[in-house]
Amino acid sequence: MLCLTTGVNYDCSILKTSDSKTELIMNKVKTLATGLSKRFMATLALSGCLLAGVQTLSLANGNSGLVIFSGVEERSDILDYKLDFNGRPKFYGERMRLRISKKKLTQGVSKFFISYLKDPEFDGKFNTNSVEVRVDGESLPLREVYWDKESRVVEIDLKEPLEAGNSAEIVFSNVKNPSSGTYYFIGDVLTSGQIPLRVYVGTWIVSFSRT
C-alpha cells in the first residue's frame, strides 16, 4: 500500500479506512482531557477566580481565546469559532461559525468532515439545508451535506475543490444547541490531489452555557 506524508506523520494502518485517523484523534483527545481533569482537579478548585476569567475569555461569543488543560496536544490545533447568538443551551436558531486558517489548508480540499465525541452526548441538531462553506465571505457551491448521526460526523462535499492557501469558514445556521457543556468538534479535510488523503486540521472546543 502506498503511504504518503504531507508534513504529518501517518501510520499506514490508519489510512486503511477513511475515518480511522479521526477516530484515533477523537479517542486521544478524550483520553488526554480525562487525564488532565483528574490530575489538576485540586489545582482547578484553588484557581476558581482565574478560571472564571479564562472562561470569559474563551467562551464570550465563542472565540477560542485562552484555553488551558484542553486535552489538545498542540495549541495551534485549537481552532477559532463563533456562536452568533451566545450559545445558550437548547436554543433553536443558533449560527455556529467554525474557522480554519489558511495555514491549516496547505493542500486543495474537496470535502470537510466535522466529527464530535460520544461523550458528552451531543443532543443538539444540525440543519443540513443551512450549511455553508465561506471563503472571503462568499459561499462555495456544495454537492452534498450529509449528517451521519450514528458515526457522529457531518460531511460537506464541495462541487469544486477549494484551492490551497485559502482560509475557510464553515457556517451552520438554524442549529438547535445541545445541553449545557463543552463539546469537541474535530475537523478533517479530504485533499483534492491525485491520491486523496483525509487529513486532520484541528479541533474546535465549543461551550454552550447560560452565562
**Residues 107-129 pLDDT 10s:** 999 999 999 999 999 999 999 99
Q: Within a domain: residue 157?
A: yes
Residues of the chain with confidence (pLDDT) below 50:
1-18, 32-60, 66
- Residue 73 is predicted with a pLDDT of 73
Number of structural domains (the chain) is 1
Domain that holds residue 142: 16-208
In terms of Cβ atoms closer than 10 Å to its own Cβ (0-12, 13-18, 19+), residue 67 is middle
- Residue 21 is predicted with a pLDDT of 53
Q: Within a domain: residue 5?
A: no
Q: Within a domain: residue 2?
A: no
- Domain CATH for 112: 2.60.40.1290
CA distances from residue 165 to 11, 21, 31, 107, 159 in whole angstroms, order as listed = 26, 23, 32, 7, 18
pLDDT digits (tens, 9 = 90+) for 143-165: 999 999 999 999 999 999 999 99
CB 170 within 8 A of CB 210: no
Q: Within a domain: residue 153?
A: yes
Q: Within a domain: residue 6?
A: no
Q: Using CA atoms, how far apart are residues 49 and 116, in angstroms rounded to an integer?
A: 30
User: Taking the CB of residue 173, how many other CB atoms lie within 10 A of it?
Assistant: 16
Q: Within a domain: residue 77?
A: yes
